[in-house]
Structure 1
Amino acid sequence: MPHTAPPPTASPHNHAHAHAHAHEDVHHDLHADQGALPGEHPGRDPNPVIKVTDLAWLEFQKPDLTGTARFLRDFGFTPTYQSTTELHVQGTWGGSPCLIVRRGKKSQFLGPAFFAADDHDVLRLAEALSAQGARVHKLPETIGGTGVTVRDPAGNRVRVVSTVDSLLRLTEPDDPESTVHPFNFHGELRRPNATQRTDIQPARVQRLGHVVLQTNRYQEVLNWYLHHFGMIVSDFMFYPGQRHRGPVMSFIRCDRGNTPSDHHTLALTLGPVNRYVHSAYQVSDLDTLAAGGDFLHDQGHYRSWGVGRHVQGSQIFDYWRDPDGFLVEHFADGDMFDNTLEPGWAPMTASGLSQWGPAATADFMGIRPGRELLREIAGVLSSLAHDDNEFDLERLLGLLKVARS
């Protein structure tokens, strides 16, 4: 059963000093763990069709593959395949490509691909979604293997794949560049008579971690992934004062049984527009992340938000915009959960997005003046004008409250 904790209460001490030290109170009670209340979403499906094991890759379309390749190298990827029409990049841990970018007239996110446990699960999923036209097919020779391609309720193209060609690992476990820096702390001397030096260079991405998607049909999309892919929720978030209406964001992990998996492989959030929000890529540690950020800054790239540490997932993060405006994240030291943990519940606030670090920026929150904000405003008007989605006036007011929090 989920653990249910009573709402935390402020102490007289906090009230006494709230005015004098207001800047110290934005994270008060931030780390209180609260479980589900009776009747709330359980965060998992009792009888899923299959259980995906990980995120395989993400697919994008962009008009300028040369400029895209340059940024991705600066970000820390290694190109593994490039033609006039397609670009693949990988992390140092090998496996499958992290990103597949195809040439197209406009920049857009095409969709994610997930790993099935085996070919039988690919077939099982195709049979379950055959009414939607799902069929097992061979993947391109540049990838290998088989897959099934479907559309989720938000319209995202989603692939589930198996037996893809495995890319070689680019570093060995004992490679100094793939290991965490040795630190002298906690009374343990690990670096006697040696200095600590970190080169300002690309961060050397190890692997793809997660993708975040926004949808105006949040509950429907969430339940679709839980049922068809066997994923389970690690944390729910709700708009302050609107918990009775249910969650508006979920951090979702793969169910690998007693083998821990990333706190979230997929995150879904309610919003007026169905769109990509960001994707995240693991690096080895804080030094690598920070030095890689300095390198990106020196190359003229735009930092959206960072460096800080998240609450849900606990990752150390650093967010950047690529040349086409897509948000991408370096992260390190994320949580890993097995399938025994029940979902946590927390209010969504801007200040609650991080444990430490600078305040969430207008760019990260999507309220920086520009084309993205204009698209979001147009989406608000469209969603409010139709009743075939979950984004109504009360939800809009909740979202505005989050942005001001």
Structure 2
Amino acid sequence: MHVWPGTHTDLHSDQPALRGEHPGRASNPVIKVRDLAWLEFEKPDLAAAEAFATVFGFSTTLRTQRELYLRGADAGAPCVVIRRGERSSFVGAAFAAADTADVLRLAESTGHTVRPLSDAVGGIAVDLTDPSGTPVQVVSGMHALSELQVQQPHSFNFGHRVARTNSTQRPPREPARVQRLGHVVLQSTRYLETLNWYLRHLGLIVSDFLYYPGQRERGPVMSFIRCDRGSEPSDHHTLALTLGPSNRYVHSAYQVSDLDAIAAGGEHLLAHGYRRSWGIGRHIQGSQIFDYWRDPDGFLVEHFSDGDLFDCTLEPGWAPMSASGLVQWGPPATKDFLGLAPGRDALYELRAMVSALRGDNEFDTQRLRGLLKVASS
């Protein structure tokens, strides 16, 4: 196999790109967003949503009869907005532009208008929809909330390197204080079209591609995508996209200080009767230490710490997709995390598979066989 200059060989993926494969970035994007700003949901029970959020580690910045705004400890805008609705649903994502001029440029390029955001957030937004039907806002000029007190990372005695003497290590069982929103993972029946839309319109770039074993020639089926901040490093992925039989939210991830915060915070969640989906472990793509939970509405949310940061110089890596390939160490991926546990969600995906195979999209019988092979790997 020829190794192309500038690839990730021996860094974080099994293989570099082959000639002619997807470059992982657009040659001339409309704008380059700086970060994921917030996620929006609808839920029928805001009290239950806030109770879980508090135990999970969010702080409430605004609560009304119709809306709930949640934030992390970092300065900035709220990172989760929940509105009262008849059914629980993921509404969409907001990305932060580098400046107001970028919002105006994107609006002009797409033929959309700019609107003011609510007084609770401030700033302006342009409303778009990706090819999978997911609403996407690009925003700027929001009110900046002041930084809150954060959990300080512990001092560790690693091997013979001593950082702590005459003091003990006693992390309390308390919420793992969320610092910020890290990433969101979405599933799409039009994966490649949707991927190219984000690269073209928002200037995101791919860190890693995954493909179904034996189907690399058909192209990738998952991508971990980061913001292009030039020489300034950004998270390994701010958005992850994966091919599947339905267009849906998969999970979102929130940074906390360290492994002790994740572990002690997990004990706190368990003590309050909440359900772990998978963890604790360390991922391969992105390297994050992770712990996944189900909120009362069934949404999957993740605590993470110690993730990779890349600048704009690294080209995409390539690796085969497998369930075992999701983790360096930790328990195997659970049926709940993979969406295979018996229940409403698994039944919905089964019905979606039948519908997708009959429809005009990228999820065909060969892709279905690949997905089933991954699920059983």
Give the TM-score normalised by the residue count of structure 1: 0.91
Provide, for residues 53-89 of structure 1, a one-character-per-residue CA deviation record: whole Å limited to 9, x for no partner. Answer: 0000000000100100000000000000000000001
Determine the structure 1 residue equivalent to 2:299.
326
Q: Report the residue type matching 2:48 in the other structure.
A: G
- Percent identity over the alignment is 64
Match 1:141 to one of 99, 105, 119: 119
The residue matched to 1:363 in structure 2 has which SS? helix
Match 1:150 to one of 89, 105, 128: 128
The residue matched to 1:390 in structure 2 has which SS? coil
The residue matched to 1:194 in structure 2 has which SS? coil
Match 2:37 to one of 56, 71, 77: 56
Determine the structure 1 residue equivalent to 2:261.
288
Instruction: Provide runs of 4+ in structure 1 moved above 2 Å.
Output: 1-6, 29-33
Determine the structure 2 residue equivalent to 1:65.
46
The residue matched to 2:328 in structure 1 has which SS? strand
Residues 364 and 2 (structure 1), Cα distance of their counterparts in 2 relative to 1, 3 Å cut = farther
User: Residues of 2 paired with 1:4 and 1:116: CA distance?
Assistant: 28
Determine the structure 1 residue equivalent to 2:71.
90
CA RMSD for the aligned pairs?
1.4
How much has 1:32 moved relative to structure 2?
5.3
Structure 1 unaligned spans of 5+ = 7-28, 172-176
**Quick check: which has more Rg, 1 or 2?**
1
How much has 1:183 moved relative to structure 2?
0.4
Structure 2 unaligned spans of 5+ = none
User: Residues of 1 paired with 2:292 and 2:151: CA distance?
Assistant: 21
Within 5 A, what are the aligned runs for 1:1-80? 1=4, 33-80=14-61
Provide, for residues 176-210 of structure 1, a one-character-per-residue CA deviation record: whole Å limited to 9, x for no partner. Answer: x5321000113111111111001001000000000
Match 2:348 to one of 375, 381, 401: 375
Within 5 A, what are the aligned runs for 1:5-404? 33-130=14-111, 134-171=112-149, 177-386=150-359, 388-404=360-376
User: Residues of 2 paired with 1:273 and 1:338: CA distance?
Assistant: 32
User: Residues of 2 paired with 1:319 and 1:111: CA distance?
Assistant: 20
Corresponding pairs, count: 374
User: Residues of 1 paired with 2:6 and 2:192: CA distance?
Assistant: 23
Residues 97 and 5 (structure 1), Cα distance of their counterparts in 2 relative to 1, 3 Å cut = closer
How much has 1:33 moved relative to structure 2?
3.4
Residues 58 and 4 (structure 1), Cα distance of their counterparts in 2 relative to 1, 3 Å cut = closer
Residues 375 and 2 (structure 1), Cα distance of their counterparts in 2 relative to 1, 3 Å cut = farther
Provide, for residues 66-124 of structure 1, a one-character-per-residue CA deviation record: whole Å limited to 9, x for no partner. Answer: 10000000000000000000000111112110100000110000000000011110011
How much has 1:128 moved relative to structure 2?
1.1
Query: Is 1:2–1:342's contact at 8 Å kept on the other side of the alignment?
Result: no
Residues 187 and 5 (structure 1), Cα distance of their counterparts in 2 relative to 1, 3 Å cut = closer
Q: Report the residue type matching 1:231 in the other structure.
A: L
Q: Report the residue type matching 1:393 in the other structure.
A: T
User: Residues of 1 paired with 2:116 and 2:307: CA distance?
Assistant: 34
How much has 1:304 moved relative to structure 2?
0.3
Give the TM-score normalised by the residue count of structure 2: 0.97
User: Residues of 2 paired with 1:371 and 1:125: CA distance?
Assistant: 39
User: Residues of 1 paired with 2:175 and 2:65: CA distance?
Assistant: 25
User: Residues of 1 paired with 2:223 and 2:26: CA distance?
Assistant: 14
Query: Is 1:210–1:264's contact at 8 Å kept on the other side of the alignment?
Result: yes
Query: Is 1:2–1:36's contact at 8 Å kept on the other side of the alignment?
Result: no
How much has 1:363 moved relative to structure 2?
0.4
